[in-house]
Every structure is written in C-alpha cells, then in structure tokens.
Amino acid sequence: MTPKTPKNQKGFSLVELLVVVIIIGIIAAIAIPSLLASRRAANEASAIASLRTIHSAEVTYFATTGANTNYTDIATLSSSKLIDGSFSAGSGVIKSGYKFTEQATPTTTYCVHTEPTTAGGTGTRTFAVGIDGAINFGPGPAALTCAAGVASGSAL
C-alpha cells in the first residue's frame, strides 16, 4: 500500500532550480580567480619568510659553528636545527609551491634562490637572498644572479 500524498503539495520547478544553479556558477566564476590569486600571494609570502629564516640561520651558523669564517649549506642548517626540518634534503627542496636552490658554494659566501614550481600557478616572482640579507625578486629565474654571495634584482 502506497502512502497518500496531499493534493496541494508544492515543490520547485525545473526552471527555478536551473536559475539557482546558474547563480551559483556565476558566483564561483567570480570567486575562484580571487582564491587562486590569494594562494599565489600566500606562497610568495611563505617563500620570502623561508629566505629570511635561512639568512638568519646562516648568520647564526657563521657566528658560532663557522667561527666567523664559513657559511654552510641548507641541509646542514636543517640538521643543526637552525631551520625547518623540511629543508633536510638540502638544495632542490620544494616548500609551499617554491623550489629552493643554493647558487654558491657554501664557504665564505652563500646565495639561496627560490622560484615557483609552476610559473603563474604557485607564484609569479622569483626570490633570492645572499650574505647581505637583502631579499631580491625578479619576474623569472633569469632575472636574478648571484655574484660574491650577493643576489641581484629588485630589492623588496
């Protein structure tokens, strides 16, 4: 036996449901680009913060273990617990959509360069830091160079 349904039962028509779906689609089309831009900005901020941390760790290492004569590589900074353990693999580490690379032989100078893993997707700018501690940026990897431990490019 089937239950009886009242004759005055009302619901949404197909047109009303389609209007709601279209409105949701329009809102999503407006919101998604802003969300992606926010994510790129957050990845860039994370890369800059990581470079500042690496510079501080290099200065600490130079003043203590390096006996005011030597810097070291990223892997040693990580194993010495001066920076995040996610850098334990050393050069080539990917963190928050950015790949970190050491450009100079770590002894009397150092230079760390970072670029987005997907240009335009995870970030739009490339960053670098050297012994002077200035974080420089450029539109792409070729825009930044390191000479004597000093990164070139536009300063932040």
In this structure, is residue 4 part of a structural domain? Answer: no
Q: Which of 3-7, 23-27, 35-39, 111-115 has the lowest mean pLDDT?
A: 3-7
Going by C-alpha positions, the residue among 54, 60, 66, 52 that lies closest to residue 108 is: 66
By three-state DSSP, how is residue 15 classified?
A: helix
Domain that residue 74 falls in: 14-155
Mean pLDDT of the chain: 85
Please give the residue that has the higher pLDDT: either 152 or 22.
22
Is the pLDDT assigned to residue 43 strictly greater than 60?
Answer: yes
DSSP 115: E
Whole-number Cα distances in Å, 13 to 2, 47, 57: 24, 51, 64
pLDDT digits (tens, 9 = 90+) for 101-148: 887 566 788 888 899 998 888 998 999 998 888 898 888 666 677 777
Residue 9 lies in a domain: no
Look at residue 53 and tell me whether its pLDDT is greater than 80. yes
Contact 120, 136 (CB under 8 A): no
In the chain, how many domains are there? Answer: 1
Is 3 domain-assigned? no
pTM of the predicted structure, to 2 decimals? 0.78
In a domain, 6, yes or no: no
5 inside domain: no
In whole angstroms, give the CA distance from residue 78 to residue 72: 10
The reply to whether 90 falls in a domain is yes
Quote the percentage of the chain above a pLDDT of 90.
Answer: 31
